[in-house]
Structure 1
């Protein structure tokens, strides 16, 4: 991370009508061998009528690796130098490692320090270590993104600590960070509240987005944003309380020199308390949001339950209709079964009759065929026998003993042929239907 240096004296502020310049300018920090910014804090009284110098080592949070919370974003030699100068303490290194942020007012061996760091939540970020090292200089480390840039915090801001005897302080910087943070949190809480109100109206009108769990995801995002803003709100309330302690401690350290001219202390206290009131109002707004989010989640759940109940009722009605149709189908099937049974019985009777006819046909057909083919003189009395032969062939002659014989003595031939032929036909019929 490339470091910049910022320096201004109270004499320059006085010459500028006790205001910071309209544009806060910083210069690059050169190599430590060539730059005495971190070690030379003396004021040359021969040409400089300043009583104190404000010095900050400035870094960009955009270029710093904020995910690496174990190490300060400083080169080893720079980190060593600022620790030797007391601009960075062990407490600040511990604060840097905290993702939740925080602030502290520390008095140690007569040295008043103020530390702050906003939560690491992917949004705006700044971190400050401010040390009233000596009566003649105040130094520190300031790492911030564009939202909390030094120019936005101090440009054209009035400086109120003008007491001629009391050493100056740089409390205006953490105060402006507090003011800006309270405004930012208020704006984001209002936006979240409006988004929740819009969601409430839409859900109340029945416009619920259930595709891909749309509204559930939206409420979850609202809930996560509320948690983030709650952490920010807690941070700024703690910051305001520590700023009050800082002002009280600063006043206590130089009580003898104030001589009743404490308008600066009273003005700072009033401004800090004002920000506390703003933060408390934001806290009350934040306290209402979880209930509203929970109510919308319940409304969506109730809507889904009602929809499922309607679907279940419709499904039950459909099942009832299907059951009724099935009952009718069963009755028709029973009627069809009865009709089929009747047809089967009639078919069985017809089959039995046909079988009887077939058996009779098989019984009489061979004999009839043989009888038709046998000479008719065998079966009837004739004076002149016809010249017919068995099976229409002239194989046999049928002489009669007398002219009045009714049957030929060879009538046994008819039975000898008919009976085997009938048996053969029956056997063929049985074999065919196996």
Structure 2
């Protein structure tokens, strides 16, 4: 029977009819390469509505398989209902390799189902089944298609082993580098690296759990297949025993790999602690240096305070001396203001342009001496009044300009603060 090409959600699906023994069985698989289903599209099977209706009617997919399809964690199951043996599997969706299978043994002469895979990772049928010998050639027992999920298991175990080895070597390289003191803390370099390694370990842990579950369900599938057709197994069950032995071998491989996976979190955590300890030690050294610097600054500040005290004492002494000098100058100024008018008047009246006759030659003072006092006293009072007015005027003038300068400085300071902080 020639293959039929169907369009399935913009991806080609192929209905394949492969007959290993035309007299006993036909294998029918609906195959799809669903790249987007790997991580993005898990809402429904990659089938057009009419194709989906056909495969549901033929029993190739069940409600349980559609529920499994929507799960990102993947899983597998071997089910028996009303004489129909079904095997389901789906790898976890994590952006890496992906395959999903619904395999149904509906009757003695029919085995069919649907297979969806991201062929970029080697899960296409040509890779999985090429050069694979089909061992179940019992003349009476209906053929099964357990070779497909088994080869998926083998491919997945090898793939997981390769990824675990790569991850383990990267962790080992990181351990050696950190042990040598080459720690990258800028931009959280090593923390980002350890986080990536930890996420990869979690992904591989989930893959390993899937493998062990798949192997256990494959054993159940083979046992149930043997039980369903036990009356027809004449001449030995070497196929069943060989398949179970091969599956258990893959299970042992997966268990060994899982031991390597289980130890990785502790190794990664140890490196995280080493980085944290390094950062703590570095911070402690910086704190010690900062404390020493602060101690030196405090000592310098203490010396500055002592100098300031000495300067303050000297300034106080200078101020006291200045005050005394100022008092002396004020005294001199008062005496000058007191005697200067009288001296000026006396000098003025003693000029030759004035004649001050005496009443007799025996008189000590001129009868016009009262003129001196009449002129000198008012003149002295006028000089004092003029000095007092000038002093008060200069004080008011100084205070006015001083206050204006202070206000102008305060306004300029407020403007700068507002401009710097962006507040008005």
TM-score (normalised: structure 2): 0.85
Matching residue of 2:14: 4
RMSD between aligned alpha carbons? 1.8
- Give CA-to-partner distance per residue, 1:13-44, whole Å, 9 cap, x none: xxxxxxxxxxxxxxxxxxxxxxxxxxxxxxxx
Indicate the residue corresponding to 2:376 in structure 1: 418
Change (3 A) 1:61 1:111: same
Closer, same or farther: CA 266–196 of 1 in aligned 2, 3 Å: same
Deviation of the 1:134 alpha carbon: 2.1
> Does structure 1 residue 55 correspond to structure 2 residue 65?
no
Can you give the 5+ residue segments of structure 1 that lack an aligned partner in the other structure? 12-48, 377-386, 390-396
- For the pair 1:430 / 2:403, whether they are aligned, the reply is no
- Counterpart residue number, 1:339: 314
Q: What is the DSSP-based 3-state SS (H/G/I as helix, E as strand, rest coil) of the residue aligned with 1:351?
A: helix
Q: Secondary structure at the match of 1:433?
A: helix
1:28-72 deviations in whole A, cap 9, x for unaligned? xxxxxxxxxxxxxxxxxxxxx542221111111126586443422
1:105–1:242 contact (8 Å) kept in structure 2: yes
Structure 1 residue 277 and structure 2 residue 277: aligned? no
Flag the 1:341–1:367 CA change in 2: closer, same or farther, 3 A.
Answer: same
Q: Could you tell me whether the CA contact under 8 Å between 2:38 and 2:96 is conserved in 1?
A: no
**Structure 2 match to 1:246:** 221
What's 1:399 paired with?
357
Query: 1:75-154 to 2 correspondence within 5 Å?
Result: 75-146=48-119, 147=121, 148-154=123-129
Partner of 2:211: 236
User: How far apart are residue 333 of structure 1 and its match?
Assistant: 0.7
Higher Cα Rg, which structure: 1
CA contact (8 A) 2:153 2:214 kept: yes
Deviates more, 1:269-278 or 1:399-408: 399-408
Q: Tell me the alpha carbon deviations over residues 174-207 of structure 1, each in whole angstroms, 9 at most, x when there is no partner.
A: 1100000001111111111122222222222222
Alpha-carbon distance between aligned partners in 2 of 1:63 and 1:208, rounded to the nearest angstrom:
39
User: Contact 1:185–1:229 at 8 Å: present in 2 too?
Assistant: yes
How many Å apart are 1:405 and its aligned residue?
Answer: 4.3
1:388 pairs with one of 353, 366, 370: 353
Q: 2:283 aligns with which of 263, 287, 308?
A: 308
Q: Deviations over 1:352-405 (max 9, x none)?
A: 2222222221121111111111136xxxxxxxxxx422xxxxxxx433334554
Partner of 1:3, secondary structure, is strand
Q: CA–CA distance in 1 between the matches of 2:79 and 2:375? A: 141
**Cα distance in 1 between the residues matched to 2:356 and 2:141:** 173
Distance 1:369 1:58 in 2: 133
Confirm whether residue 176 of structure 1 aligns to residue 151 of structure 2.
Answer: yes
CA distance in 2, matches of 1:127, 1:83: 16
Q: Name the CA distance, whole Å, in 2 between partners of 1:265 and 1:90.
A: 29
Residues 393-418 of structure 1: CA distance to partner in whole angstroms, max 9, x if unpaired?
xxxx4333345544321111111111
- Partners of 2:38 and 2:97 within 8 A in 1: no
Give the Cα separation in 1 of the matches to 2:169 and 2:219.
33
Residues 38 and 95 of structure 2 are in contact (CA less than 8 Å); yes or no, is this contact kept in structure 1?
no
Deviation by residue 1:234-292 (Cα, 9 ceiling, x = unmatched): 11100001111111112222223222332211211111111001100111111101111
Provide the C-alpha distance between the structure 1 equivalents of 2:365 and 2:128, rounded to a whole number of angstroms: 151
Paired residues of 1:65 and 1:73 also in contact (CA < 8 A)? no
The gaps in structure 2 that reach 5 residues or longer are: 1-7, 393-424
C-alpha contact (below 8 Å) 1:163/1:261 kept by paired residues? no
Match in the other structure for 1:39: none
Q: For 1:207-250, what per-residue CA distance to the aligned partner results, in whole angstroms no more than 9, with x for missing partners?
A: 22222222222222222211111111111100001111111112
Cα deviation, residue 108, structure 1: 1.6
Q: Secondary structure at the match of 1:133?
A: strand
The residue number in structure 1 matching 2:398 is none
Offset from partner CA, 1:109-162 (integer Å, 9 cap, x none):
222211111111111111111112222221110011112111110111111112
Distance in 1, matches of 2:141 and 2:176, equals 58
Which residue is 2:167 aligned to?
Answer: 192
Structure holding more helix per residue: 2
**Contact preservation (8 Å) 1:9, 1:54:** yes
* Pairing 1:355-394 to 2, within 5 Å after superposition: 355-375=330-350, 387-389=352-354
Secondary structure (helix, strand or coil) at the match of 1:165 reads coil
> Which gives a bigger RCO, structure 1 or 2 (Cα 8 Å, sep 6+)?
1
Over 3 Å counting, the alpha-carbon distance change for 1:119 and 1:258 in structure 2 is: same
Counterpart-to-counterpart distance in 2, 1:413 and 1:66 = 124
